[in-house]
Each structure stands twice: as C-alpha cells, then as structure tokens.
Amino acid sequence: MSVLVGKKAPLFSAPAVINGSEIVNDFSLEPYIQKKYVVFFFYPADFTFVCPTELHAFQEQMNEFEKRDTVVVAASTDSVNSHLAWLQTPKNNGGIQGIKYPVVADHSLTISMDYDVLAGEFDYDDNGNQIFNGSAEAYRGLFLIDKQGIVRHQVVNDMPLGRSVEEVLRMIDSLQFTEEYGEVCPANWHKGDKGMKATHEGVSSYLSEN
C-alpha cells in the first residue's frame, strides 16, 4: 500500500454525478487547489450495505465541512449510470437520494490504482493475456488534501469496516490548527484543546500542565 502523505494528490478527469442528478464527463479535483481543502474518499460499490451509511453520514455533516472550507468527494469503480440510479433511489430502499457532493465513476479503475486502494491488480496469464486478480473494487480509502494539493492524512479500511466522519472532522481541525498556530496536536486532540510547541521546552510545558 502506497503512502501518499506528503505527496501531491494524483489528479484525474473522470465522469461524476454532481448535485445528486447532473452527470459531468470531466470532473476533476484540480479546480479546488489553492481554494479548498478536499476530503476524497473511496467506497467499494453502489447498492451495498455499509456504503450508503457512510455516504449519508458525510452528507449529514456537510455544514461542518463547509465551516471548515472543505469539500467532500466520493468515488467508486461503478459506472456513472450506476451512481445516478443509486442517487435516485430513496434512502429507505437502500439508496443515497439526497447526497449532493460529487460521486466520481472510476470505471476504468485508474483512479483507484493511482491512490493504491484497488482490491485487485492486473496481471498476465501464461499465454501473455492480461487478466485481473482480486476484486475490481476499492477499499475504503480516505485522503485529506490541503489547499496546495498535498495529501496530509490518509486511512484505508477493509471493506466491512465503516469509517468515522467525526474522526475526519477532527483531522481537518488538527490540520488547520497546525497551519494557523504552527503547533502540533497530541493524541486525542480536539478543537479547543491546547497544542504543543515543537520544541523541547514546549513538550516540557505541555507535560507539566497535563
């Protein structure tokens, strides 16, 4: 599994559904660079069980992301038409109707490969024919990208393990705190807590106060 933290987030152009109903063929993260923080997350598949709970959980906290100048973008390896059908399916029928943030269609698998979250890989058989081993779906990867387009946080869960949106918000708060104050965040830090100065004196002061 590649570690993308500290590196430029891989850019792409791919079909996506935006605002819950509009298909665009050339969606990209590039317009957000220098303007917004980005939470870019992958989920395994449309019309499944854990995935809609995650997508709805992100939508329910959209006001909190907006307060933090952050956009949310989802992606899976399903087609854009599958995304659209799922977005038109009511929540009580297992759908994600009401999701407004972009949902990217990585049907070519290239975005998942670039972010190294694909649960399978291309190979060749004994006759030199290209084959695919494993599942052509993405693990539950999530990447926090800063305004310079650098990945500052990543986490990858296996498919049965849903993520915590509250933890994503905490990581955004941590990143923005370090950028604003030049201090670092200790374990279990939350917005409003004290940070630590990245010096020996700062560590000593923090330990004496806690």
For the domain that residue 21 is a member of, what is the CATH number? 3.40.30.10
pLDDT at residue 136, rounded to an integer: 92
**Within a domain: 209:** yes
- Identify whether residues 100 and 194 lie together within a single domain: no
Q: 102 with 96: CB under 8 angstroms? A: no
26: its two tokens: 């050339």
- Contacts of residue 118, Cβ cutoff 8 Å, sequence gap at least 6: 77, 109, 112, 134, 136, 137, 138, 139
172 with 129, same domain: the answer is no
Say yes or no: 71 and 87 in one domain: yes
Mean per-residue pLDDT of the chain: 93
pLDDT tens by residue, 18-51: 999 999 999 999 999 999 999 999 999 999 999 9
Tell me what the mean pLDDT of segment 81-106 comes to.
97
DSSP assignment string, 26-85: EE-SGGGTTT-EEEEEE-S-SS-SHHHHHHHHHHHTHHHHHHTTEEEEEEESS-HHHHHH
136 lies in the same domain as 64 = yes
In this structure, are 124 and 209 located in the same domain?
no
Give the CA count within 13 Å in the CB-facing half-sphere of 116. 9
* Residue 45 located in a structural domain: yes
Task: Tell me: do 55 and 157 sit in the same domain.
Answer: yes
185 is catalytic: no
Task: Name the residue range of residue 21's domain.
Answer: 14-161
Do residues 82 and 65 both lie within one domain? yes
For residues 33 and 94, state if they share a domain. yes
- The pLDDT confidence band at residue 120, using thresholds 50, 70 and 90, is confident
The residue whose two tokens read 């604003």 is: 180
Q: What percent of the chain has pLDDT over 70?
A: 94
pLDDT at 203: 52
Predicted confidence band of residue 123 (pLDDT cuts 50, 70, 90): confident
- One domain for residues 75 and 115: yes
Instruction: Summarize pLDDT for 150-193 with one digit per residue, the tens.
Output: 999 999 999 999 999 999 999 999 999 999 999 999 999 999 99
Instruction: Based on the fold, state whether residues 130 and 26 are members of the same structural domain.
Output: yes
Residue 134 forms part of a structural domain: yes
Count of domains for the chain = 2
Annotated catalytic residue within 9, 14, 45, 51:
51
Answer yes or no: are the C-beta atoms of 164 and 15 closer than 8 Å: no
Task: Tell me whether residue 7 is in a domain.
Answer: no
pLDDT of residue 200 exceeding 60: no
Residue 34 within a domain: yes
- Same domain for 24 and 65? yes
Please report, for residues 23, 75, 96, the alpha-carbon distance to residue 27 in angstroms, rounded to integers and kept in the order given: 9, 11, 20
Q: Are 130 and 190 found together in one domain?
A: no
- Evaluate whether residue 6 is within a structural domain: no
79, part of any domain: yes
pTM of the full structure: 0.91
